[in-house]
Amino acid sequence: MKISIKELEKFIKKALLRKYDEKETDLITKVVMFGELSGKTSHGIVRLEGILAEKPKGKPKLISKTKVSSIIVGNGNPGMLIGSLAMDEIIRLAEENSVGFVGARGTFSSSGSLSYYLEKIAKANLIAIIMAQSPESTPPLGGIQPLFGTNPIAFGFPSKNNPFIFDMGTSAISYGALLKAKALGQNIPKDSAIDKDGNMTTDPNKAIDGATLPFVNSYKGAGLAMIVEILAGLWPNAWFTIHNKTAGWGNIFIAMSPTLLMDEHEFKEKLSLMIETVRNSKTKDGNKVRISGEKTIITRDKNLKRGYVEIEEVLINKLRKFIN
């Protein structure tokens, strides 16, 4: 069904306000709306039920570590709230010092689409790297025991036009895609998961009891998964592999001013030149080359302009119980 963006926003806020204060509600709503509007609907209102089921032990706590680094302790608050606080803090640190590091721990849910944070940080004229650790679902290369999360790594850069954003999971399939295939009774792609005995499977049920494989089951995918587990999990003193689970999931936000090495205006001009060079480079069929991250922003802007989104009625009805 069609639902206007304003109405959807009101709906989400009304649900969240039962549990979170106005500022928190506002921050979480923005992340949920970005997922829904940008077509990354697995990070949209489908997450609302989980967010409302969380049991925070208190308010999030910001710990200043050094002039350029802070830790945010989530205290069981939603990943999307902690992600938003980390984003604000990293912009503050990097605007003051040209560089900033924010480690987060103590969440037990997804921080949402990392593209949301990267766009905002890049619009503050900062280069950013974000990594998100999550509970172990992927084994190392050659192993069959889940040790690493699906562990995305994402980069954002300011340019003359839209920020350039690249966001990738280090596992062959996301946990959300597994759950969706299970719910729909579908198979998952070949070579993306193993069962509990380490045999390849396309059955999502067997994969859930087994493990998702690292990206293309190679040392590159597995190595990057471990890098994210170290930087986003171990380093902020969060959950890593089978250790320190009570500390909750971890995130790392790193931001750098282009001015560390180059004039800001020059950086943005040159990046736009690079993007257009890539877009217009030679292809076999004469089509333009797709630029990573653009579809997300274009979809969001298109939906914002027309003022409404399409959402399955069953999902809306399911969520209505939270506001009635």
User: Which residues would be at the binding site for a copy of itself (CB under 8 A)?
Assistant: 65-66, 68-69, 71, 98-99, 101, 103, 127, 139-145, 147, 155, 157, 164, 166, 168, 197-198, 215-216, 218-220, 222-224, 226-227, 229-231, 234-237, 240-243, 256, 258-262, 266-267, 270-271, 273-274, 277-278, 281-284, 287, 289-290, 292
Choice between 53 and 289, CB closer to a copy of itself: 289
DSSP 45: G
* Shortest reach from residue 277's CB to a copy of itself, in Å: 5
User: Which letter, b or e, does each residue of 82-112 get, where b requires 16 or more Cβ atoms within 10 Å of its Cβ?
Assistant: bbbbbbbbbbebbeeeebbbbbbbbbbbbbb
Taking the mean position of all CA atoms in its chain, how far away is CA 255? 16
Provide the minimum distance between the beta carbon of 35 and a copy of itself in the complex, in angstroms, as a whole number.
20
Of the pair 44, 236, the CB lying nearest a copy of itself is at: 236
Q: What is the DSSP string of 234-284?
A: ITTT--BTTB-GGG-EEEEEEEE-GGGTS-HHHHHHHHHHHHHHHHTS--S
Pairing of strands 153-157, 127-132: antiparallel
Amino acid symbol at 286: G
Rounded least distance, CB 172 to a copy of itself, Å: 10
- Could you tell me if residue 72 is left (phi over 0), alpha (psi between -120 and 50 degrees) or otherwise beta? beta
Q: Nearest distance from residue 149's CB to a copy of itself, in Å?
A: 13
With a CB cutoff of 8 Å and minimum separation 6, the contacts of 76 are: 54, 55, 56, 57, 106, 107, 108, 248
Other beta carbons less than 10 A from residue 47's beta carbon: 23
Choose between 149 and 258: whose C-beta lies nearer to a copy of itself. Answer: 258
Q: How far is the CB of 84 from a copy of itself (least distance, A)?
A: 19
CB 26, min distance to a copy of itself, A: 28
CB closer to a copy of itself, 179 vs 242:
242
Q: Please, which residue, 197 or 301, has the CB nearer to a copy of itself?
A: 197
Please identify, using beta-carbon distances, which residue of 46 and 226 lies nearer to a copy of itself.
226
CB of 3 to a copy of itself, least distance (A): 31
Residue number with CB closer to a copy of itself (234 or 323): 234
CA distances from 255 to 114, 267, 274 (A): 14, 15, 21
